[in-house]
Amino acid sequence: MKLTIKSVISLTILISFLCTSIPASAQGNQPFHFGFKKSKGGKLPSIAEEGFMGILQKQNAIFLGNTGQKELYLTFDNGYENGYTAKILDDLKELKVPAIFFVTGHFVKDQPELVKRMVAEGHLVGNHSWSHPDMSQVSKIQIKDELEKVRVEVEKLTGQQEMRFVRAPRGIFSDRMLGVCNELGYINVFWSIAYRDWEPKQQKGWNYAYVNVMEQLHPGAVLLLHSVSKDNAEALKKIIVDARLQGYEFKSLNQMEMKQYR
């Protein structure tokens, strides 16, 4: 089939029309997996090359604290209990370190006493969704339902009336999803220190966890640790003690003053 100049122009106009007709809502649904260039030698990590820095800035999501201060924010993801959260809480209590635990519906229902203990000992409980779905792929109503179930159940257990912080399951997010969480009164929390620690059958010893965390320390860091990790539970006390020896102070997310994106 031979294309005439007229038909080529018509086809070009049609393609242009179709491309510009994609609604903004569809563009805002593009999913991203949170990732970053790791810190080395105390230098700041970066998300500049990941393609979503503008979205996090627009939605006021947390990735870093005050990068001009040697402060650390300790966060745990609690999807389910693997026998180590009590030890983690013991060490935090002994060393007087605040943390936030992002819990799922399964954890809340399965471990009510641990959730009560978190709040009673001065920690924050954050929202990690009820059923741990990819929230970039569900509706606004479903997002609200996922988060509200967790908030209500935690309040019933602990009396914690305010739940300010949310963490996207598996670190998958979209502009729309972050915006919906904002509308519901949440601050989206990501991280600037992490390693592959969430596989119980792939534990490599406490020193492996210790080295992975300590090599990434930097001012204003938000640490992500999974409570199912035996390595994390065994390394936590030494991480805290040695970080303090380097001049770092552990703070609660409620104390975060600013963030800088790089």
Instruction: Specify whether the CB–CB gap between 248 and 72 falls below 8 A.
Output: yes
Query: Cα separation of 205 and 230, whole Å?
Result: 8
Residues 33, 77, 218, 231: which is the catalytic one?
77
Instruction: Specify whether the CB–CB gap between 63 and 187 falls below 8 A.
Output: no
Torsion angle (degrees, nearest 10) of CA 126, 163, 98, 41? 60
Lookup result for tokens 């996090």: 56
Residue 71's H or E segment, with its range, is strand 71-78
Q: How many CA atoms lie within 13 A of 217 on its CB side?
A: 21
- Tell me, yes or no, if 226 is annotated catalytic: yes
- Tell me, yes or no, if 77 is annotated catalytic: yes
Residues 123, 132, 218, 226: which is the catalytic one?
226
Instruction: Specify whether the CB–CB gap between 84 and 234 falls below 8 A.
Output: no
Instruction: Point out which residues pair with 126 in neighbouring strands.
Output: 102
* 164, two tokens: 């300010």
Query: Cα separation of 187 and 200, whole Å?
Result: 29
Active-site residues, by number, are 77, 226
